[in-house]
Structure 1
Amino acid sequence: MRKSLLLLSLIFVQYFNSQFRNSLYDENQINVSLRGGLDFPSYDNQTKYIDYKPNLNLGISADYYFNWIGLGIDADYLSNKPKNSYPTENLYLGAAKLSNPTLTENNIQRYFFGIGPNFRWVINDDMGVTFKLKGGISNIKGGETSLISANGATNYNLNFHNGYDVKSVFSGKGEVEFNWFFSENIGLNVGGYYLQHFKTNDIVTNGNAAGYIPFTSNDNQNLISPANAEIRTSVLDHEIHSVGVFAGLTFRFPIKEAKPEYNLNVVAKDKETGLVLPDTFIELYKDGKRNYLARTNAQGVAFFKNIKPENYEIRGKLNTIELNSTKTNKSEFVKNSTIRKEISTDSDKFYVKGQVNICNSKNPLRDVTVVIRNNETEIVQEIKTNIEGKFYFKADKNSTYNIYGKKGNYFSQTETVTSKNVDRSNTLFLNLQVCMEETSCGKPINLKNIHYDLDKFFIRKDAEAELNKMFQFMKDNPNVKVELASHTDSRASDDYNKTLSQNRANAAVEYLVSKGIDKARLKPIGYGESQLLNKCSNDVDCTEEQHQTNRRTEMKVICH
């Protein structure tokens, strides 16, 4: 336990030293805390049938803080009462029943006085967490316990411990305390502690320190054996441990005039629509180095409190999208006041919010490489999805994008998003959903947008994007072999549809071979109308949409 406390204190020192400098907590300051709570003791005095009950703890501390580190003194009063677990009914000596025993249980009073360092983690002006280490001395008195019963004129001390009378024993204490100040000088505290008293001696009276008379229980009788009494005659050099929880009041007193504050609020919004932008990271840069970072709240505002007045460049980032930057001038900052700046998006751009899920589910896919192709400029960019399967990018006005994902053995559908005929003054975000399917062995996956002219089997230009996606999948998975299947609807003869579908499957394979895929990895099959997905067989009246469901091209990984 002592090694753990030392290691924990070193971690706190390093962490606090590197992290926290802030407002009122930066001032030299005195804190006085009053607290009360519950103490849970453990006495290692090897006394059988005697335990100790949780009871009261009261304390006061005074702490002087230089900023994040301080020095404090603690005074604690702790009271515990012994708890006898030896039987008190149906006691017998042979066949003779003993009288009802007399139980004496005296409280143990402990007084701790300690001094040591404090380390603070400042959350904001009103909240902070403090880790305290204290070393000192304790006075421990009381705890005499005895259970006495009689058989005629003979008294039997069934169970006893003489307690403590220790004037000063070295003790150590570790404490974690949370403070919330509801006014500038008064706050609430809650926390917990671990207290240890080292080398504590109990009392030896008339050559005895503690002991008990063994007993056996039989037929609801407790038969004692005085001849076998277990008596400890020597002082036991042992430890006492305590853990506890507390709550109370803390009073803080700055001992020098507060430093002047310079504050900055930055609003992130879309200039075109006036829409505020929550969860935008705002950064303050000076000479190319980031000095401060904050995040906008639900109202699109980021707060920078008590910063150094400088010439800053204000940059903003909404997920992966950078906003237009702005600047502050050192002369704009006024002592103990707040200046306001606004950072906005590009009015000539739309912002696409994309989501990648596993098809037919709400399960997101992280670390997907999303391929984005501008159909007007033919510029291609790639973005990774985050842990929630989300991705973001800027979209030009009057543009259309084809978008699909790449990830291991997943196959992505190609989706389209467009900013054409969308009023930028009313809309900032374009929403997009992309789904991906895992290509498990033998599972057919429908390739969307593979269309052919009537009675033709050559690959049209609009089908190349889907086949290019399949090319990328096979390139990313070089050991995979794939069956490429073409299906028709039930119209025309079975033989004609079989031949047409085989030719279409062959054409798709030849296209992939022309892109560099080994033909041995591809197996074209034309199923004609033999694997309809609905009831639309020969001579069944169906809509064009129902027939379209059956006209499809599928791929599936060939099982080894």
Structure 2
Amino acid sequence: MKKLILMVMAVVLSSLTWAQNRPDSTASNGGRLQVSAFGGLSMPLGKYKNEIGRAKNGYFAGLAIDQYFKGNKWGIGLDARFLNHEMRKFDSVFFANGHIATAYKNHPSFQHIALSVGPTYKVGFGKLDFEAFLRGGVLFEGFPQYTQSIYVNAASGPPVKTFDNYYTSNSKEKTKSWMGLGGLRLSYGLGDHLALFVQADYLRAFGKSFGSDSSEFYITRYSEKKAITATDVMNVKSGQITNILDFYEEKPVTQKTFVQAVNVGLGIKYTFGGKRKIAAPVPVTKTLAPPASAVPKDILVVVKDRQTGLALSGVTLKISHKGVDHTSISNAEGQAERIKGAEKGSYQVTAVKNGIAAEPVAITASDFDKAGNVIYKEIYHDDPRFTLIGETVRANDNAKLPGIGTVLTNASNSTNMTQISDAEAKFVYQLEQQSDYNIVANQAGKFSQTESVSTKGLDRSKTLYVTLKLGVSNLDAGTVFVLKNIHYDFDKSNIRPDAGRILDNLLNVMSQNPTLKIELSSHTDSRGKDAYNLRLSQQRAEAAVNYLVGKGVARDRMVAKDMEKQDC
């Protein structure tokens, strides 16, 4: 790659030296040489952008040398450029006994160098030059490499990788392909030699191979039968998932795509040789249309999460102009309400979510002078916390239950937050990094288990959302509930702090339901004699009763009862 860049620089320097040393008379009467530097926005297309390549909008930069023949209309040009398209990363997915994560083996982006040569045509209108070019050449491609795997929690130690369900399958990380390039350039002369220009072109790779190497980007994946949810369990035997065919097809599918992109940018060019010949102005008798900058344009603003690049919904955006505020809430695509027919001027865009404001973005009058009917701006919100998106559901059939109160407790400092699920049974909390939480339903006549949520081990640059379903049941007479996550030390009956938090939630249920009476029992494991285990079970149940009595619950509302030992 370094040798290639040095070769391009050598060609450019040689052309500049030759142009500076040739006689002016030749330059004036014959064709002129021009050297251009440019850069801007590169927008992937097709499968390269979508389901296979997942390439995002990126940037490009390059140099062009055009030698025109006599008359300065037709010429031959050389184009050398670099393109960078980062890929959209995959979100981690968590299920009951593990998670799905993606490992990136190199930088997660497509990086290409394009070298091409071909004809150029130019026509001049006073200080304006309009150029069209068509090139062919070689694209030196650089592909990302990644593997998405299923990890299942081990009895001890870190999770174990058991299945690769999605991965790149390129024969090489760096390869080559034939390419084509076509575009248009509009220049405005600042003098006899210097000009500014805007440029738009289309670039794509051709062919399946270059020599013995593949020229396309390949992925291999197992098609989903059913999406893995937070409650699903992966059964593992001898290091293999035995129920994997419940979620994925048996055979993998390999897909491929070629590289293609539309590039829009700005540049500056220097033309060697004699002075420009500017045609005499033509009298204008017709009424001229207003300049493009005087025509109103639409304003479209999209808010994204800075750390993951994902679009953010539910953000309050305000677009201000001359004391008037246009306020809206971003939709699922992160878009604010579009302002149609906005007049030329200066605007300020602000965004706030969860009490955190994004860095403001400005829209200037110069944005109205650019091509296109829509001014597009992105604003980035930077909240280091994770977002918990929960759903209150009926415990027995997962049907949605809106309007249920919930309480989220930070396990490290016991601080509480409350929220009522909305009409879609959703509730949303912000979670600090590297923290453990408990969440429970909080409503009279209702009961839920105390669920645990943790952000430990999660990477904020890859994960924004954590999901949870909170099962809720009615408190009917005779109903039996097994409280989850109440643990005792071996051969002990004292209430540990983690068990105390579970009992505190039971205390809240009893406070909301003053006529409720309960029977508390406790299991022991299979170690020890039956008589001893019965005594220990009774002691543990009585310890739970005494804990609740100490918190203000009347003793006659509770019965402590031993239970038979359980196999462990």
TM-score w.r.t. length of structure 2 = 0.43
Give the TM-score normalised by the residue count of structure 1.
0.44
**More strand, by proportion:** 1
